[in-house]
Structure 1
Amino acid sequence: MKKIILATSAMALMAGMAFAQEGKTIRMGTEGAYPPYNFLNDNGEVDGYEREIGDELCKRAELKCEWVTNEWDSIIPNLTSGNYDVIIAGMSITDARDEVIDFTQNYLPPAASAYAALSADADITGGVVAAQASTIQAGHVAESGATLLEFATYDETVAAVRNGEADAVFADKDALVPAVEESGGEVVFVGDDVPLGGGIGMGLRESDTELKAKFDAAITSMKEDGTINAAIIKWFGEDATVYE
């Protein structure tokens, strides 16, 4: 199992964390269409790694939380406009996003992105590569020399490869693994893994410093007691990158 080093805690759970924002429900915004990070189960409820992590974070921070879904391409504007209070949606921490919103520390370590195609010989440097719009993967493809074909959802990027619109798809490898494994050899990984971003963090409005501090403290406690590692292995498998 790959491991990264978890730095010494910047802060412990504080006594002040015990108080919740009285009378306020924290709205947790996610996409609901990016398994295993987040998806809608058969009952139409938000499920996945981020639902498990998010519920535990709210419990430890003593916050009342509810889940809402939002399309990916407008997920940041709808945070800043107040439609919800937190983004917890497989969002990589990047400098560009950090200029618009604030981030907690990561609750999922930096992980690999990957290409997948119908052939191991697919042209990923000069061909047409599908990626979900407004992602770090789309930005990488745009700078790679390949022709970027953007879609609103992850599922559409994989479908574009299957129907011949794109030579390959570029996405988080953890998201691509089920598509590759369930294809029976039709879809295969191409080339080497590509490390991108600073891990997955919760996005908040820059003014919500108290809420950020509460979630940061809760994330730290979950890293220290192994709760996050257990969830990573549950949702992403034994070979997933975990905290040490």
Structure 2
Amino acid sequence: MHSLKDLPTANPPGLTLWPPPGREDVRDALCGATLPSLRKGAKVGTGAPRRIAQLLAVRPDLEIIPIRGNVPPRLKKMETMGLDAVVLAVAGIRRLGLDEAIGELLPLDLFPPSPGQGALGIQVRQSSTKLQEILSSVGDTAVDAQVRAERALLAGLHGGCSVPVGAHAETGPEGSLSLFAQVTSLDGTRRVEGKLSGPVVEPEKLGAALAEELIGQGARSILDAIRGESAVSR
């Protein structure tokens, strides 16, 4: 089992991805403060390019401090590093019973999560029929459609967990599926976004279509510039 947001969009040979058994809250949380309460030039800890880009798009005055590690050590860094706040996934916070650390749940229209955030990634050997039988009753088909659409969008953009792509799919009435996505430059100055809806039985088609729409708006040039900067820094 993995956090689905951290899994590559292509499975290794011999493995298949099983439908997740439900999904935790997909949002990010600001811990230690709320956005309106942060002073000008406040220090906010996060190492995720997507979160950095989204924060700077809303609050360009913030000083972003790179941090890594598990949830408790990251929260501790507000004290040890003198940070005003840190950004973490709500799913991880709640699974550890640390809800009291949440200062603000960040809105999905400005801070769409990483594709697959909040869902478990269950990889199963294609040859393991016994295990597939055991898991056959636990998968949530609605969540499966959501994450498949989000991951198809990411694949269409040729992105991964190191690029600032946010996506959030929701299942609706009468077999519908909607997908919202956003691509933001690392400095927060450029942002493209879009939303499409389609049949819940065609999540990959929906994700690919929205990826093409975002590319038409300039998403590829944003991502190419980020990849170029990363190559130079290495």
What TM-score do the two structures reach when normalised by structure 1?
0.38
Higher relative contact order (CA 8 A, sep 6+): 1
Bigger fraction of residues in helix = 2
